[in-house]
Amino acid sequence: MPVCPMGAIYVDPGKNRAQINDDACVECGTCYRGMSTENLNPVLVRTIRRIAKWLKFRFEPEPDVCPTSAFDMNELEMPRLIRQIFSDPVVEHTSTGIKGRGTEEVKTNDVNPRVGTGEVGYTIEFGRPGVGVRFSDIQQMTRILAGNGVSFEKKNPITHLMTDVSTGDLRPDILNEKILSAIVEIKTHIDEVDEVLKIVHEVNQQIDTVIAIGISTRCDENGDDQTLAPLLEELGYSYSRAKTNMGLGRITNKINLNGSNV
């Protein structure tokens, strides 16, 4: 069924009913939440379809409508629950309180400085678009990055799942879980861009998924980026799209001098 981002829903020829491949399913909820529903009687729907098939009528259902409201979300427990947390964009990451991929990145760099002048932030996103990834594959990358001394962003859901940030090891109980996508966030000095990007591409050769890299920096007082963009061009990396923080944010929460909220 085309609605499933992982292709996990199929019609079993023996049963002649739709089935979900539990291992391929990432609990993203697209089938349950994203489809419109009709709440029709399943026996009636199947009978009409059988008659239409027998008469050789061409039958073309709406691909985003479930006529019998057949889908329901399971009550999940760890470790399978981790699939939903990382795959369903309307579910909040408990570690950061943020939905989607669970991180603010440089979207709030104007009020919550993560990447400063001379620094470069990386969002290394696994599994996207449309392929998915297992945590064991992500761990392969985090271990090698940790071995090269990079620092992982603390307010990031993957960092929260590390048992040891100095080695990049993730919780062993989740390693076989498959998710739609996840972002590893790191930061380095600008001199290390070439090396880090090479590492990411080399490791990607060993893990069977796609990777989307976002690379960020702080602009100067004139709003220009005279360091990272020229460097990327010099290194031969192309980019056409960007997310630009326009610097309109300011701190408005009441905060104690020690930094905690009052």
Q: Which is nearer to other proteins, 166 or 244 (CB)?
A: 244
- What is the chain's alpha carbon radius of gyration, rounded to the nearest angstrom? 23
Q: Which is nearer to other proteins, 89 or 171 (CB)?
A: 89
Q: Which is nearer to other proteins, 42 or 172 (CB)?
A: 42
Among 46, 68, 104, 165, binds other proteins (CB under 8 A): 104
Question: Could you tell me the two tokens for 247?
Answer: 């610097």
Q: Tell me, what amino acid is at 53? A: K
Q: Which is nearer to other proteins, 139 or 217 (CB)?
A: 217
Least separation in angstroms between residue 179's CB and other proteins is 10
Q: Which is nearer to other proteins, 16 or 222 (CB)?
A: 222
Question: Could you tell me the two tokens for 63?
Answer: 């691909």
Among 35, 146, 161, 174, binds other proteins (CB under 8 A): 35
Among 27, 84, 109, 135, binds other proteins (CB under 8 A): 109
- C-alpha closest to that of 98 among 153, 17, 21, 139: 153
Q: Is 131 in the site for other proteins (CB under 8 A)?
A: yes
Question: Could you tell me the two tokens for 56?
Answer: 């050789």
Binders of other proteins among residues 148 to 167 (CB under 8 A) are: none
Q: Is 105 in the site for other proteins (CB under 8 A)?
A: yes
First to last CA, the chain: 51
Binders of other proteins among residues 181 to 200 (CB under 8 A) are: 181, 183, 197, 200
Handedness of CA 229, 231, 233, 236 (dihedral sign): negative
Q: 180 CB contacts (<8 Å, ≥6 apart)?
A: 5, 6, 26, 28, 86, 87, 127, 128, 132
Say if residue 11 is exposed, middle or buried (CB neighbours under 10 Å; 0-12, 13-18, 19+).
exposed
Q: Is 221 in the site for other proteins (CB under 8 A)?
A: yes
Q: Which is nearer to other proteins, 107 or 171 (CB)?
A: 107
C-alpha–C-alpha distance, residues 121 and 110, integer Å: 14
Least separation in angstroms between residue 234's CB and other proteins is 14
Binders of other proteins among residues 37 to 96 (CB under 8 A) are: 37-40, 60, 62-65, 69, 89-90, 96
Among 77, 189, 241, 257, binds other proteins (CB under 8 A): 241
